[in-house]
Every structure is written in C-alpha cells, then in structure tokens.
Structure 1
Amino acid sequence: MSLTFAAPSDGALPLHVIESTGLEAWLDQHGPDVRSWIEANGFTGALGQVLLVPGPGGAPEFALAGYGDAASRARKRFPLAAAAEALPKGDYRIASGVAPEALEVEAFGWLMTGYAFDRYKTQNKAKAGLVAPEGIDAARIEVLARAEALIRDLVNTPAADMGPEQLQAACEDMAAEFGASCETVAGDGLLERNLPMIHAVGRAADRAPRLVEMNWGTSGPKLTLVGKGVCFDTGGLDIKPAVAMALMKKDMGGAANVLGLARMIMALNLPLQLRVLIPAVENAVAGNAFRPGDILTSRKGLTVEINNTDAEGRLVLADALALADEGAPDLVVSMATLTGAARVAVGADLAPFYTDDDGAALALSRAAARVADPVWRLPFHEPYETQIEPGVADLDNAPSGGFAGSITAALFLRRFVGDSAYMHFDIYSWQQTKEPGRSKGGLGQGPRALLAALPEMLNL
C-alpha cells in the first residue's frame, strides 16, 4: 500500500465511525436488521473495533469503525488508525463520525498504517485504502506522509548501510529532486574549512567525517536547519555498554528529522530560503580517537574540555551551529538525539524543545496540538551556565553531577549561536512499541509541528 489516498470511486465502502457512547443513538436511526447484525457480532464501538455490515444481497453495504470515547482516544495519537489496521483489504470513505477538525490528523494516521520498513524483509502492511475526506488538503497530507516515511527509513537502516556517505547520498538525492544545491566537505577538508570538532569526533572511523550543506530557495525569510548525523555512536573511548549501544544506529535521528522537514518545505514550496547543515560522523574507537581530557578548539574559537567522549553530538553540532549563525538567518533550528536526560524528563513520546522566544514557543505548542506531533518546552535556565564552564577551557562537554543534562546540553549549544533566533530539539526519534499509525522503530518527532508553526514564526 503506497502512502497515498485511494482514488474516489463508487466501489469505496462507506465507513461510519462510531463512538462507544453514541452507538445506541446511531442504531436508533437504522432498521432492526442492522441492529441485530451489530449486536450478534458484539460490536460496541470500542476503539479499534471494525465490522462489515451486509446489505440485502449479502455483500457489504457499509463498514463500522469503533472510535471509543474521549478518554480512550486521548491515549492514542491516531485513534482511527487502529480501525484502519483492522479493516479488510479494500477502499473506504469516511461517511460519518469524525469531527472536521480531526480529519487531517486521522487521514495522516491512516496513511501511515501503510508504512513498513521492508528493505531487508517483506513486512505486513495495512491493506485498507482511504479516499481523501472532503475538506482536507490531500496533497499536503501525502507530502507529510512521504516525509515521515523518509525519516523512518533513514533511522531504521542499520549503520553498516547508513554511514556518513549514505547520509550524504540521501541529501544529494533530495537536492536533485527539488533543484537544491548540495556541497560536502569531508575528511581533512574539515580542518581546512575550520570545522575542527566535526573532524575530531569522526576522525577515528574508517568512514570519513563530513559536513553536508544543502541550499534551496532564493527569497523570503532565511531558515537554517541543523541535524545531528552521528551514524553510529560507540561512545568513543568512554565506550558504551552493549545494552546502551543497541540502538545507536538511530543517533543520526536529528539529521533524519531535519531532512524530513526539509522535504516538506521544498515539496510544499514554502516561500523561504532554506539551508540544511548535517555534520555526519561515526564516533568510533581507534588510536587517533579524541580522548577524555583533551581540549578542542571550535570553529567559533571557544575551547571545549572533553570530559566524556560519549557527549560527542553537541561537539559536531557546535561547529555546524557556528557556521549556521554566520549566515545571519532569521531562525536556526537544531534537532538531535542528544541526551538520555531528556528521556528521563519527558519520556520517549514527547519532543522537548528550547527557545528564548515566548511567541515562537506558543506558536509551536499550539501547532503541535493541532497536528498530533507533541512537543514540550524546557528552559534555557541561565543559572546552570556555570555548570558548563570547567575553568581550564571555555566550556565542558559533559558536566559532572548528573542533574539537568538536557538543559546543560542545550545551554552548551546556545553558546555557538550569536544574534540569530535559535530553537533546539532534544528528540528520541524512536517508537518503542507498535501503536496505530506508528510502527516500532524510527519516528519523526517535531517536523510536522514545526511545519505548521513556521507561517507564524517566520511571518510567511
């Protein structure tokens, strides 16, 4: 099943979406035969229940989808997707039961039931197609679905097949598709272009570190997206235990989410100037690996004491953020799978973000609620600034103490952005267990919320 809507046709089966509390009222509007069939099959309107109702000749006349109650729907991102995954193969059109303001989110969730990561093995996908409901922007939702699929594919791909060079290729393919420019600086070229911390983090790997830059658009506000592209993180010389290394193929989730957002922006032809910067590295162990106790000099000139080589993501982002700020953009957004502290604070399902702009924070939070891409604001708490100042260098990449790890990482990154407005996301980019519309594995977190908020944030 492709991530597109079904073509309108007379063969699409009407689908009535029934709340559990509204079943009796709905039954009262239909004949006794319908009531008998529904009661005989035990349909109660519970979330995810489905039932085909036959007509006089025995063929299905319409379908029912249980929508639960408000409390059960609040526990699911895409409630209707639960029914979509259970419906038999065929095409359906929503005939009743979904509020107009919920149609776009439910339609997106339905499309995503058609996603499966099948690069290495054929996977089962939902087989129920949906005719685009009237009143929604079907083309836009299909764009969002394709972008979400890209994010998931990139994150799900093992590091052996998704190293810095493959991440670069993904950027180049996207640039070619949308007429953007794409340039890569790799290996010792990073030193020549004054990107020393990206080089330091990735130099021990047999796949050269690099910075990939993509540019698109010639007019409008300037938006720069920076995505952490650590394609595998061993922890470096502060090597991770096996259990902590198991999911490190997803440590390039920030880059994947940035690319997903970039795809949305270009496919929808937003009136802005887009710049994408992705520092792509592998944090490996070798004789030339950077060490605990080393002091690195960044592109911005700030020195950084290395107290943990497993806090490498903020190092590669720092050089990229300094480069981003030099272009005087109207807004810089960084996205990274940066800290375990963020997961402790808000769990896997929320995307914490940081900004000094209360208006932007409000716009983003409102947009996130509308599009079911939840975010949560955390503070750039300035009293913690002293925790990232070690004394022997300007900054400490891994403050001791263990408290407020996501906040201190965000404060570290903010040091590398000057006058530009800045927003940072500390995401997880992984779905731990299968949910309706969300397969287990890689996940987009924040791009749809940002896309919905950009018109207000940038006065588009």
Structure 2
Amino acid sequence: MAFNLVARATAGTIPVTPVTADGLKEWAVEADAATKTWIAATGYKAKPCETCVVPGKAGDIARVLVGVEEADRIGVWDFAGLPGSLPAGRYAIDADLSGADATRAATGWALATYRFTRYTEMPEIEAELVWPKGADRDHVENIAASTALARDLINTPGSDLRPSELAETAKALAKEFKAKIAVTVGDQLLKKNYPTIHMVGRGAEDAPRLIDMVWGDAKHPKVTLVGKGVCFDTGGYDLKPSNGMLTMKKDMGGSAQVLALARMIMAANLPVRLRVLVPAVMNMVSGNAFLPMDICRTRKGTTVEVGNTDAEGRLVLCDALTEADSEQPDLLIDFATLTGAARVALGPDLPAMFCNDDSLAGDILASGLAEEDPLWRLPLHQPYKAMLKTKIADLSNTGSGPYGGAITAALFLEHFVSKTTPWMHVDLIAWNLRDRPGRPEGGEAQGIRATFQTIKARFGG
C-alpha cells in the first residue's frame, strides 16, 4: 500500500464528499435530518480544506465533508488535509471526477502522507483512501516518491548529508534507473578544470566534488539539470549570523530538486537524454578556506573576484553550467537556493524564474499554474551587468550595491551559458516556513512538478 492509497472499497468504506462554501446549502437540501442538524450544530462552512466528520447512528462515521475551492475542478491540495486528520478507516471520494481531477486528488493525498522519521517516531497515518476512479496511479506514485526524496534530502542535517553522502544518494538513484555516474573529488577537480567548485569546498573536511549522472538514449533530445549542492553554508569568512545559519542545511536544496526531477523523468521513461550535474561542497571556515577578495579563474576562463564568500552558490554553479553548456543541450535548467533577494521580492512560496527563452518561460509559467506549483518570472535586465564589474578581474561574484540581488546573481550565471542554449534558472527557498495541508514545515520540492510537465510536453512521453 503506497502512500495510504488502496485498490478497492470494503463494506465499511466511508464516503468523502467535496463541497464548496457556496454549494453546501444546496447539497444539504438532499441530506437527512441528522446530517443537517450536525452541520448546523458544528458551524461547518465548507471553507477550503475544512472538514466535517458526520457521525452515524451507531456512533461510527457516516460521511466526511471536505471544503474545496471550485465546484468543477478538484485542486491538488483539496484533499491534502485529510490523511493526518481523519481517524483510522477506509475512505472513498463520493463524486464523479474526471481523470485529471482524480489524479490531482490522489496526488494531494499522497503528498500529505509524507513524514520525516529518520530521527524520531511520528504517529502513523491510519486513514486509507481508495484510488479515485480514473487516477493515473503511476504518475501519482512517481510524483509522491520523487517529492519525498527532495524533502528527505533537505531535511537531513549537514552532519549527516555532506558532499560524500549526497554523492552516495545520487549513486543509489543512478543504480535504480541504470544511469551512468561519475564523481570527481577533491584535487581531481583542479586536474579536470573545475576550479571554483574546488575553491569553495576546499576548506571543509569532507572534500568538494562534482556529481555527473547521465541517463537515456544519446539520440534523444538533451536535457541537462544543474543543482546547487552546498550541503551546509556557514557563509565562509563572511560568516552568517546564527539566525541566518539556522536553516542552512537546506542550501543544497537545488541539488535535491534536480535529483528529484531526474527521478521523475527516469521513472516516467521520458524520451530524453538526461544529464544531471551537482557541484557538492560545504562552505566552511578553516585555514584552507577561500577568502574575500580572492580571485579565481573559472572553467570558462573568466576571472572572478570574490566580493563575498557567502555568495558561494553562483561560484560552484558557474563551472557546472560551463560544462553543461559545452554539450549544447536542447534544454538547460538550474535550481539553486541562491539569494535572499528573491525571497524578499516574491516570498517563500514563489520561486523566482529567469529565462533566456520566452517560449520556454511561457510554458513553465503555464505548467506552474496548471500543476499548482507556481513560479514567477523576473527579468534578466542587462543594464544591471554593470553592477558585476570589478577593477582587477572580469567579474565580481556580488553586485556593487544592495539592489537587484536576485537579478545580478542570475546575470552572473547567464555569463556561463551560450545565448543559443535554452536556459532557465530557478532561485528558490526549498523550505516550507509553516505547516499547510500536504506541505509540512521543512524541506520542500518547488517548481519541479511544473518543470516535469513542461519537459514531458516538449519532448513527448
């Protein structure tokens, strides 16, 4: 039984009826007197995700009402509040759903069964949902399992998820789907010309590395994913304050997104040649750590002055993007927990998306709305490149002032991607600040359901 979804109803299966706030009164007209009395007595209004457990005559549960946003469309999160709130039992949705509605309902239920139990026990979810008729089971299980992978990785503390452990996770994923994988470690990064990855990670006891995974038919369109894998970020010598460091185990959130997205693609057997590049480091303070005002020559040959050691993500990404771009992929996407500026602009729920291809950007935004996994496009405003100028190197890794930080970071990355390569950069938080139905506080997958659907639509499958 995956994600507390079961194949069939039994004699004691309890109906779950979706109702809107506007439609509750009309629905209640057909209900029995006891149900009408119970709804009135409990003050139930059918607000979104609000539930009403209607008792039966024998003290059992006769029915569950759940508030939904729209009468003619079930959303991903409409049923997500149920698994953790309903008592033990088997439940079935009592409504005629389209295949798409059934799939969204089951997806929300499955995502809501997630628990991070590596370090403590949690109460088991005992409510079971009968698979809604018409639901795409393979898709639901793929989305839920891949999301759980991303959440697990982000929730794991830095002491237990260093670059070496992140590489082992990638190796296990490669083995599961028969992908090829290579890991370049420590000083081998210098020999193979990945100097910025080495520079940022050399101060840590666990050596920096580049994870490089390839899957699929070489004749298929090339899709390359790059994910920031800073397994813990102290800020380096530009040390973060304690409150700013508290959640920095999530600074590898970009790598978690691309590994989860890669899992979705491989599990769905999409007809693409997939490559995943993860520069994995820890940004630590030590006698060997890189320093403010250091200058590094990147894989591309561009020299970069370190304006701030806490702007390390773009440094490790630039070498990985240069390598990714060298193959002229049909699609290049990077995910990174890159800037606080993006969070200030858009808040925690909207990843900032930058893109050099209007068609691609439009497809991603449309998929985000359809999948309830939204992104928001910010501009690659070219005049802001002037903020990256420095007198003694080709680029600075920081802007010259406090403004437009998410844009200047994206422009820095754009320098390492060819103009002819369709490229998207996603700047995200990868973290839920509070509990919501189906979205527990902690590590989160953001933008990857939307991206998966866009890749699927573009390249078939």
* TM-score with structure 2 setting the length: 0.94
Percent identity of equivalent pairs? 45
**Counterpart residue type for residue 20 of structure 1:** A
C-alpha separation in 2, matches of 1:459 and 1:46:
38
C-alpha separation in 2, matches of 1:125 and 1:426:
34
C-alpha separation in 1, matches of 2:294 and 2:281:
19
SS at match of 2:154: helix
- RMSD value over aligned CA atoms? 2.1
**Counterpart residue type for residue 139 of structure 1:** D
- 1:355 is matched with 355
Tell me: CA distance 1:58–1:158, structure 2 relative to 1, closer, same or farther (3 Å).
closer
**Counterpart residue type for residue 315 of structure 2:** L
C-alpha separation in 1, matches of 2:52 and 2:242:
46
Alpha-carbon offset, residue 46 of structure 1: 3.1
- 2:26 is matched with 25
Alignment pair present for 1:107 and 2:110: no
Q: Deviations over 1:30-82 (max 9, x none)?
A: 33233234334443323343334355655433322233679xx99x9713322
**Counterpart residue type for residue 90 of structure 2:** D
Alpha-carbon offset, residue 125 of structure 1: 5.0
Tell me: CA distance 1:90–1:200, structure 2 relative to 1, closer, same or farther (3 Å).
same
C-alpha separation in 2, matches of 1:237 and 1:441:
27
SS at match of 1:215: strand
- 2:163 is matched with 164
Q: Deviations over 1:70-106 (max 9, x none)?
A: 9xx99x9713322443221222111128776544333
- 2:140 is matched with 141
Query: Unaligned 5+ residue runs, structure 1?
Result: none
- 2:365 is matched with 365
C-alpha separation in 2, matches of 1:32 and 1:287:
76
C-alpha separation in 1, matches of 2:412 and 2:47:
48
C-alpha separation in 2, matches of 1:367 and 1:112:
19
Q: Deviations over 1:153-191 (max 9, x none)?
A: 000000000000000000000000000011100000000
C-alpha separation in 2, matches of 1:379 and 1:346:
13
Alpha-carbon offset, residue 297 of structure 1: 0.1
C-alpha separation in 1, matches of 2:69 and 2:40:
17
Whether the aligned pair in 1 keeps the contact of 2:102 and 2:133 (CA below 8 Å) is no
SS at match of 2:265: helix
Tell me: CA distance 1:391–1:456, structure 2 relative to 1, closer, same or farther (3 Å).
farther
Whether the aligned pair in 1 keeps the contact of 2:220 and 2:273 (CA below 8 Å) is yes
Query: Unaligned 5+ residue runs, structure 2?
Result: none
Q: Deviations over 1:225-283 (max 9, x none)?
A: 00000001111111111111111100000000000100000001101000000000001
Length, aligned pairs only: 457
- 1:257 is matched with 257
**Counterpart residue type for residue 428 of structure 2:** I
**Counterpart residue type for residue 9 of structure 2:** S
Alignment pair present for 1:269 and 2:269: yes
- 1:94 is matched with 93
C-alpha separation in 2, matches of 1:44 and 1:329:
52
* TM-score with structure 1 setting the length: 0.94
- 2:202 is matched with 203
C-alpha separation in 2, matches of 1:211 and 1:69:
46
Alpha-carbon offset, residue 224 of structure 1: 0.5
Alpha-carbon offset, residue 24 of structure 1: 1.6
After TM superposition, list the pairs within 5 Å mapping 1:276-355 onto structure 2. Answer: 276-355=276-355
SS at match of 2:159: helix
- 2:427 is matched with 426
After TM superposition, list the pairs within 5 Å mapping 1:167-182 onto structure 2. Answer: 167-182=166-181
**Counterpart residue type for residue 241 of structure 1:** P
Tell me: CA distance 1:363–1:328, structure 2 relative to 1, closer, same or farther (3 Å).
same
- 2:64 is matched with 63
Alpha-carbon offset, residue 318 of structure 1: 0.3
**Counterpart residue type for residue 367 of structure 2:** A
C-alpha separation in 2, matches of 1:133 and 1:366:
26
SS at match of 2:84: helix
Alignment pair present for 1:411 and 2:408: no
C-alpha separation in 2, matches of 1:61 and 1:229:
49
- 2:121 is matched with 122
Whether the aligned pair in 2 keeps the contact of 1:225 and 1:275 (CA below 8 Å) is yes
Tell me: CA distance 1:246–1:58, structure 2 relative to 1, closer, same or farther (3 Å).
closer
Whether the aligned pair in 2 keeps the contact of 1:213 and 1:278 (CA below 8 Å) is yes
- 2:231 is matched with 231
